[in-house]
Amino acid sequence: MLSIDRAIVDAIVAHARRDHPDEACGVVAGPAGSDLATRHIPMENAARSMTFYEFDSMEQLRVWREMDDRDEAPVVIYHSHTATEAYPSRTDVSFAGEPDAHYLLVSTREPDSEEIRSFRIVAGVVTEEKVCILDAGVDPHAVQSYMFGQSPATVDYECSGR
Amino acid sequence: MAIEVRIPTILRSHTGGAKIVEGTGDTLGDLFADLDSRHDGLKGRLVTDTGALHRFVNVYINDEDVRFLGALEAKLNDGDSVTILPAVAGGAPDFAAVAARGLRAGSPAAR
Ligand SMILES: [Zn+2]
C-alpha cells in the first residue's frame, strides 16, 4: 500500500496537467527505510514526448546524490500517461529499476478527472497496490482511502496498517 | 589505488548487498570485467550481448555521464569514482506508440 499526503498527490496531478499532452515524471523522496513519501521532486522529461518519458541523466545524478546526502530514498517514482490508462506499459516494466519504489501512474486522458494507480514492479512482475491518501491538516485519523484500479478485492476504506 | 564504484539497490544482489565496491581498469569496460571476476553476473547487467552499455543503466565517472565520454571506452584514472544508477524511463503502452507512428505523415510503418 502507498500512503501519501493529498497535497503531494495534488502537486503530482498539477504537474501532469501542466505537461499534458507530453508525459510528466518525477520522484517523491522520503527517509530511507521509512516508506514515507515526503519530498516531491518534479523531474524534467528529457524525451519531451507524448508516449515516452526519461529522466535527464545529469538531473537524476544530482537528485539521487542529494537523496543520498539526506539519507533518503526514491519512495515514489511517478509518470503520466496522457492518452491511455494508468497501468505500466511493457517499456515501463522493462525499465523499472528501483525494486523498493512505488510506481505511481497518473492518466490525464480525461480532461476533468484523473486516474491514479500505484504498483510495485519487481523483476518484471507488476503488482497493483492500494493508494491511501492522507488528508494532513484535518483530523489525522480522518483518512480517506481510494482504490483507483480495477481490483476490488484490495479496496480497504479503513486504510488499515496505518 | 582503486576505483570506487557505487552500486544501485537493484544490482546489489551481485555484490552481496554492498553499496560500494572497488575495482581497477584503464577503461570502463576493463573495470566492468574486473568487477565481474568478483561479483558474478554484474557485467551482464551493465553490458549487452553485443558489447554496448545497457540502456537500463546510467553510468557516471565522477560527475560525467559516460555516454558523453565514449561509454565503455571511457578512460579511468586512479581515484576516479564511478556511479551506476538505474535509468528511469518508460512510456505509454505500445499500441499508443504504434498508433502515433501510423498517424505520422509518410510513415513507412503504416503497413
Ligand atoms: Zn508509462
B94–A contact, CB cutoff 8 A: yes
Side-chain-side CA neighbours of residue B85 (13 Å):
27
Chain B residues with CB under 8 Å of A98 CB are 8-10, 86, 88
The verdict on a CB contact (< 8 Å) between B93 and A84 is yes
Contact residues of A toward B, CB < 8 A: 23, 25, 43, 47, 49-55, 57-58, 60-61, 64, 77, 79, 81-85, 87-100
Beta bridge partners of B49: none
pLDDT at A135: 84
User: What SS3 state is found at B49?
Assistant: coil
The structural domains of chain B, ordered by start, are 3-86 (3.10.20.30)
Beta bridge partners of A127: A120
Beta bridge partners of B92: none
In this model, does residue A80 exceed pLDDT 60?
yes
| Average confidence (pLDDT) over B40-59 | 96
A85-132 pLDDT, tens per residue? 999 999 999 999 999 999 999 999 999 898 999 999 999 999 999 999
Q: Which residue has the cell 497518473?
A: A106
User: How far, rounded to the nearest angstrom, does the alpha carbon of residue A86 sit from its chain's CA centroid?
Assistant: 11
Chain A residues with CB under 8 Å of B9 CB are 98-100
- In Å, the largest CA–CA distance within chain B is 57
The verdict on a CB contact (< 8 Å) between A89 and B83 is no
Side-chain-side CA neighbours of residue B27 (13 Å):
9
In this model, does residue A160 exceed pLDDT 60?
no
- Specify the higher pLDDT residue, A70 or A159: A70
A34-72 pLDDT, tens per residue? 999 999 999 999 999 999 999 999 999 999 999 999 999
Superfamily of domain covering A2-130: Cytidine Deaminase, domain 2 (3.40.140.10)
pTM: 0.85
